[in-house]
A and B are shown apart, each in its own frame.
Chain A
Amino acid sequence: MSTAHLDNFTDEMEHDDHDHHEQSFISKYIFSQDHKVIAKQFLISGIIWAIIGGLLSVIFRLQLGFPDMDMAWLRPLLGQWINIDAATGLGKLDTEFYLALVTMHGTIMVFFVLTAGLSGTFSNFLIPLQIGARDMASGFMNMLSYWFFFASSMIMFASFFISTGPASGSWVIYPPLSALPQSMSGAGLGMTLWLVAMALFIVSTLLGGINYIATIINLRTDGMSFTKLPLTIWAFFLTAIIGLLSFPVLLSAALLLILDRSFGTSFYLSEIYIGGEALPNMGGSPILFQHLFWFLGHPEVYIVLLPSLGITSEIISTNSRKPIFGYKAMIGSMMAIAILSFVVWAHHMFVSGMNPFAGSIFMLLTLIIAVPSAIKAFNYITTLWKGNIIFTPAMMFSIGLVSFFISGGVTGIFLGNAALDIQLHDTYFVTAHFHLVMGSAAFFGMIAGVYHWFPKMFGRMMDRKLGYIHFWTSFIGIYLIFFPMHYIGIAGFPRRYYSFTNFDAFSTFTDLNAFISVAAIATFVAQLIFVFNFFYSIFKGKRATQNPWDSTTLEWTTPIEPGHGNWPGPIPKVYRWPYDYSKPGAKEDFIMQTVPYAQTPESNLPHEQELAGLEGKDDNAIKVD
């Protein structure tokens, strides 16, 4: 026991040192090693990337919805990527730039917004605050993680400004398109920059992820056992483990691709003619790349989704004023999802000519994922059932996530079917499916997290009314975009095509495509409400109270604006699980994790009462010690 006291004592000594040390602007806000500042850096970078990524989708939706439109007015923004037709004088989007738009939209949204923007923000912000730690295991690595991400962002952004345009072989960068610089203009320098940026991005993710795992394992406060961790932390923990195991594989795949591109090896290339000329490459296999890519690619969708599921578990429980239904089932299903995510990658490759027997095994494994996913969906609904629901904007977005998770998840069962996939593969049905279940759901989780933890981040509240407007426009808008896409996909529209006007079969869908485009533009504009609300509230929002949502977790025991080290005094100890809401007999409808059972005799269950008696005894024991 005495060693423990000594440790605490030295902790506080170090902490005092920090307080007295005046930090310069640069070490406080730019090259900061404080997890809260790094989280905000990730969040604001993520928001900027989300605006860029959204804008790209608006441009290609204009092309898809209104193929005859004169786009000359976009010339100030896109310059040479708008070709002016000499005969008619109409401006047309460059066909290869269209592919670049699709590619960059995917890359930015999947990696820069929903991986770095989501995990980077909330893992950094919540892990030390919710487990009761002064900071991350290594503040320096954490800072490096952000700056590698920043360098990666800059390189990816720079690729928009080169004459051959950014990478355009789609975000999955399948060779040979991505391996041969002469195959298309975007496969040249743009692709090289893409690979460099992604290599830096992987380094950033690994530095961050290693830190998250080490922090959760090693720096939990006294009493914070794994069965008392909030579900957010469980989600971030499993996400970081998935990232640690899958991102290095993408690095290997990228390394072999770089060797093929720049050193003339043939890992992915074989017997190719380009422009009527035979290339010397022999013996490579493009399918090998697909295997390596999807070994990352499929876990990646859970890297995107799990943090959002954790965030919403916390928000739904808090705002239903009820304990989360099936706490251990939630952990178990997240673990099951994490494990299964590594054994289903080939369902992306059903039509690549793989062995049909292997296909049926991957189909079976894929469909098993429906079980833990359904457990999670049911647990959300049963938590809401008969709760005293408080509809904060964060709660609305969390319920929105549950809606998208279900409606997008159901189509996943269609797509996981090797036979149905022959028809549906690479159509808009796939686009609709993953934009609902992974894109929109993860995005809603992220937005919900921002609304919920904004008071802790900035000490102020976001505007509620604008939050509601933002929710309803986004929620309705997203369904208006992606629901019709299912029909277009079933009709056979392939993804990534520049235009459908040349095919008579698709002419009946012209109006529907225009409708989707209008909905997409409206939804994008609605996001600007959020951006305004976010930046306005940082400076002018209403002052927050210490625990505005009457929540039970540790972050709400810190001062309203926690300083470096998070708690001014000693780190609080934890006595109970994080979901003691509306406990029968309790004075209030929530009991903080820091309240010992001895102080709540009126609400203790029989076995907790027994523990309460022991807590007192032990306190005496410590004094004697």
Chain B
Amino acid sequence: MVTELNIKEVPQKQLGINPKKFILWLFMVSIVMVFAALTSGFIVRQAEGNWLIYELPSQLWVSTVILLISSLTAHWALKAAQNNNSLQTKLGLWVTLGLGLVFLSTQFWVWEILVQHNVYLVGNPGGSFLYVLMGVHGFHLISGLIYIIIMLAKSYRANKVSDIQFQLSLSTTYWHFLDGLWIYLYVFLIIYH
């Protein structure tokens, strides 16, 4: 009993996770709230009727798979950095960057298909919401790409890639988050469109 108290009452070091990692998590929480607002607005507005019904373009499957693969390559880059494998790290980051760009152009392609099916940004909110959800996600994805470009630059400047593994773990976490966010949006759209 006595020894137990001994451990408890000595002023203890208050250590949680790394502050920078924690800040990133809080930042992601605020992004989640942006999309929570948009998707619940979607549901509320849809419940009022007068809602444009259309088929979700099947090409969204393509973009979803591309983004999933990019998550894998991002993870591969991080693992390589932890093993101090410079070449694989850079390659992984380049591939992730490329796949991110392909994802964005696929999303744009989906918009063109939507226009062909007479679903526009301007018009019934049923269509507008799809553009807004994809657009705001795309905007965040661009921020993720910029983050990856910064990490690429760092990987070329670093003496050892294992030096940047912490920063790389932050950017990878953010990239996985953007991937997960898109999966959420896609599942949401499949259920509610």
Residue ranges of A at the interface with B (Cβ–Cβ < 8 Å): 4, 7, 137-138, 141, 206, 209-211, 213-215, 217-225, 244-249, 251-253, 255-256, 259, 263-267, 282-285, 288, 291-292, 295, 573-575, 610-611, 614-615, 617-618
Contacts and interface: CB of A to CB of B under 8 A. Distances in A.
B192 to A, nearest CB: 15
Contacts of B26: 209-210, 213-214, 244
B48 A573 contact: no
B45 A288 contact: yes
A625 B2 CA distance: 19
Interface in B7-33: 9-20, 22-23, 26-27, 29-31, 33
Contacts, number: 140
Interface in B46-60: 48, 50-52
B5 A249 contact: no
Interface stretch (B101-109, B121-129, B156-164, B173-181): B121-129
Contacts of B31: 248
A222 B37 contact: no
Contacts of B2: 614
Contact of B48 (A138, A246, A285): A285
Contacts of A138: 19-20, 23
Interface of B: 2, 5-6, 9-20, 22-23, 26-27, 29-31, 33-34, 36-38, 41, 44-45, 48, 50-52, 121-126, 128-129, 132, 136
B24 to A, nearest CB: 9
Contacts of B132: 255-256, 259
A263 B37 CA distance: 20
Contacts of B16: 217-218
Contacts of B22: 137, 213-214, 217-218
B121 A263 contact: yes
A266 B128 contact: yes
Nearest to A619: B10
Contact of B45 (A211, A285, A573): A285
23 contacts: A137-B19, A141-B23, A210-B27, A210-B30, A214-B22, A214-B23, A218-B14, A219-B19, A223-B11, A244-B29, A249-B36, A249-B37, A251-B37, A265-B122, A265-B123, A265-B128, A266-B125, A267-B125, A282-B124, A288-B45, A574-B11, A614-B2, A614-B9
A574 B13 CA distance: 10
Given A210-B23, A263-B121, A252 B38 contact: yes
Nearest to B50: A283
Given A214-B22, A225-B14, A256-B41, A615 B9 contact: yes
Contacts of A263: 121-122
A283 B125 CA distance: 7
Given A218-B22, A265-B128, A267-B125, A248 B44 contact: no
A248 B31 CA distance: 7
Contacts of A264: 122
A618 B10 contact: yes
B154 to A, nearest CB: 17
A295 B38 CA distance: 12
Nearest 4 Cβ contacts at the A-B interface? A223-B11, A248-B33, A252-B37, A220-B14
B41 A617 contact: no
Given A218-B22, A256-B132, A259-B121, 20 more contacts: A137-B22, A210-B27, A210-B30, A214-B23, A222-B12, A223-B10, A223-B11, A244-B33, A245-B29, A249-B34, A249-B36, A253-B41, A259-B128, A265-B122, A267-B41, A283-B51, A285-B48, A288-B44, A288-B45, A614-B10
Given A265-B121, A283-B124, A610-B5, A223 B19 contact: no
Given A266-B123, A285-B45, A253 B14 contact: no
B11 A575 contact: yes
Contacts of B23: 137-138, 141, 210-211, 214
B94 to A, nearest CB: 29
Contacts of A206: 27, 30
A572 B68 CA distance: 49
Contacts of B45: 267, 285, 288
B9 A611 contact: yes
Contact of B19 (A218, A224, A617): A218
